[in-house]
Copies of this chain bind each other. A is one copy, B any other.
């Protein structure tokens, strides 16, 4: 029971995802989203909605808009030929390595923060 469903206006998405319309238009400018137009006005489909969601998630993880564009474009069209498929598989493998690294970084940081937390709470009981 999401408050909204497709189609969305730009301010709908702006509210839902807590980004400014400027941001959404900028992503379009960079080729990340391509909403339809009704009388010059942007109209966003469920697919656009999902794309924006993926973009913002990717950003939180630390990917650039350029990277997100290529990966979104990549995952969009299923590869036809075997060579294409191998190519995509290679890219995916790289992305996974990056992500695994980030996950390790995060886990290491979380552990350190727990240690610090423990040190502080322990020192408080002194």
Contact = CB atoms under 8 A, between A and B. Distances in A.
A49 to B, nearest CB: 16
Question: How many identical chains are in the complex?
Answer: 2
A58 B108 CA distance: 10
A81 to B, nearest CB: 10
A66 interface: no
Given A96-B110, A102-B106, A89 B61 contact: no
Contacts of A78: 119-120, 123
A57 B103 CA distance: 11
Q: Categorize the interface residue count of chain A.
A: 20 to 34
Interface of A: 57-58, 60-62, 75, 78-79, 82, 85, 88-89, 92, 95-96, 99-103, 105-110, 113, 116-117, 119-121, 123-124
Contacts of A61: 62, 102, 105-106, 109
